[in-house]
Chains A and B, each alone.
Chain A
Amino acid sequence: MRNVKQKVLIYSLSLVIIIVCVFPFYWAVVSSLKSGTDLFKVEFIPGNPAWRNYLEIFKEQPFGRNIFNSVVVAVGTVSLALFLAVTASYALGRVAFRGRTALLVTILAVSMFPQVAVLSGMFELIRAMGLYNNLLGLILSYMIITLPFTVWIMTTFMKQLPKEIEEAAIIDGANTWEICTKIFLPLLWPALVTTGLLAFIAAWNEFLFALTFTIEEKARTVPVAIALMTGASEYELPWGKIMAASVVVTLPLITLVLIFQRRIVSGLTAGAVKG
């Protein structure tokens, strides 16, 4: 009897959780199919779906280019962050050298920087390097967001690898670089996927830096493009299109999440609990 009650409780809880989590996204989809006055009405299923919102966001502004930018920035960030994280985490996770803890704490400290605090300094830096309005500038500045946690999570994974493998390799005469790339890297693929995905999402969603370090429409990433979307006149807000754009940006992420949900969970947890 108690079991049945428990089951009912858990299932209804799950249902509530799913509804609460998914409803706003559903609402975004509904709003994205409205235009004009329909937007100011509450309707749960749009009576007169305005599919053209989806066409217009690509026609009226370089939204395709914005998506491409976001992909370039996110992929660039992931590659750079993973490369750095793998090398650093090998050192941090496998070698017991003096100052290791201090380094780990420093890296953790970086992850605590409020973005606003480094904004003006970062702006100077980007300009000094001539990377203003350039996606490379964004990739570089995103290191401050992604490096700390990629290093931290990869270090945890590195630590978990059995010592015997490494010892065997040393006896076989492999040098450190070979150990890292030939022996550990293949074992770390799952971890790389997880961490990469987290970095991808972080870079894809970043707003403040992307807003500050780009000026031209065609250099913008997606969140900035959405935030700055306007209608035909200065004050008009094209809600339907903003929502359509939001749905377009969020769908790939949801797909990624759907495919990799297990990995994300294990990645998040590895980074947090053991770190």
Chain B
Amino acid sequence: MKKLLIGLLFLGLIVGGYFYFADGEDNSDNDAVTITCGMVGLEHKTCKEGVALWEKKTGKKAKILPAPNGSNERLTIFQQYLAAGDASIDVYQVDVVWPGLLENHLEDLKKYIPQEELDTYIPTLIENNTVNGRLVAMPWFIQVGFMYYRKDLLEKYNRPVPQTWEEMEETAKIIMEGEKKTGDNIWGYVFQGKAYEGLTCNALEMMNSTKDGGTIIDHKGKITLNNSQAAGVINRLSRWIGTIAPEGVLNYEQEDCRGIFQSGKAVFMRNWPYAWPLLNSDDSPVKGKIGIAPLPKGGKDGHHTGVLGGWNLALSKYSKRKEDAADLIRFLTGKKELRRRAIVGGYFPTIESLYNDKDIVAANPLMKIMKKVLKTITARPGGQTGSKYSQVSSVFWNSVHKTLSKNGTAEENFATAAEKLNSLSKNGTKWY
């Protein structure tokens, strides 16, 4: 008994001491602006440097609060923080599809940043972050889907870098068959086909690359999913499963694709820019044998595009230091800092003119390719659908996933999906 008591006492001391010290840390800088940013490796480092520069410039204090790295987990936690009206975080790093979701809790940044400065940003981004006429987040860095290809294999079979999806299919088949003869099993194309947000991106950019292939929901919020062009694109994608794409893509995320491509088991891959340096790392079997290009067009009259991904900075409505926080946002998303980030970390800037900057282009070869698709970037319908976006996206990816797993045609699944979207949106007109 004594032992137990002593044990408990001891434990109490440890726990108590722990909380004492943990609290002590948190109370130290009460008037600092708190920002959540850069939860992963390099991102964290670049963000810290940027914040330090702001501190030096203004003489004010800022504190970085790391949030979960998983995008989903991060959103959940932010939502809970914001729902509770918590003032402990002033600046949030938000995904490009969240402005609509979090709009209620975010300040209009037009109040803090002059219009002529806003005009220098890529218009799609400003549009994406404007909900109900309010600019709720400043674009910070972006990314789009690219097509990675095996340079060596294209040369071996004397094929050009495919400009259209049709060409890609043909080339993939030729190379697959050719390699089979020499006993090497290789897949033609890998992409993110798991039932998650990534599939929405993959399917949407493919639809959008065709002429009139369309959107899920247009600019005005009208449901446009149920059209034969879009269905045709997804039906074609479904045909690819088991022929040029492994059946496993139905459960692939980014890293699964990279794994296959990196071990030399695929000719083409759709992936985000992060994969480029990894594929070119020293122990990579495909190092030096690969190329990267914009995603193919849908037919001759289509266009190159990619779905917009990336991150923004937003100001919490519940912040008690709005002026300082807005200034920090303005600094971090300002031209000078974006330039620094592009050179140091290779982050794609959100100001169009920076893509002509020699130092930036020299620092990252992908900048040139990004520049090609900047004008035709595809935004997901986050702004139009507001807080309903995640549901819209889930309805869409489920209908695509169903088609890909050969459970009904795209026409059938899109019809059902459109109906679902209709009931979500109060009859296809109002989303929030």
Contact = CB atoms under 8 A, between A and B. Distances in A.
Asked whether A and B interact, the reply is yes
Interface of A: 36-41, 60, 72, 75-76, 79, 83, 123, 127, 134-136, 181-182, 185-186, 211-212, 215-219, 224, 227-237, 239
B11 A76 contact: yes
B41 A134 contact: no
Contact of A72 (B14, B77, B272): B14
Contacts of A231: 40-41
Interface in B32-78: 39-43, 65-71, 73, 76-77
B284 A37 contact: yes
Interface in B259-295: 259-260, 262-263, 272, 274-275, 278, 281, 283-285
Contacts of A229: 69
A216 B66 contact: yes
Of the listed residues A41, A136, A217, the one surrounded by the most CB atoms of chain B closer than 10 A to its CB is A217
B279 to A, nearest CB: 10
A181 B278 contact: no
Contacts of A218: 22
- Interface SS of chain B: helix
Contact of A230 (B4, B11, B39, B77): B39
Contacts of A233: 40-43, 274
B192 to A, nearest CB: 10
- Interface SS of chain A: helix
A72 B69 contact: no
B11 A211 contact: no
B202 interface: no
Interface residues of B, number: 43
Given A212-B76, A235-B274, A36 B281 contact: yes
Contacts of A186: 1
A40 B259 contact: yes
B69 A230 contact: yes
Contacts of A181: 1
Given A215-B81, A233-B42, A235-B272, A228 B73 contact: yes
A135 B41 contact: no
Nearest to A60: B41
Contacts of B71: 234
B84 interface: yes
Of the listed residues B40, B73, B275, B284, the one surrounded by the most CB atoms of chain A closer than 10 A to its CB is B40
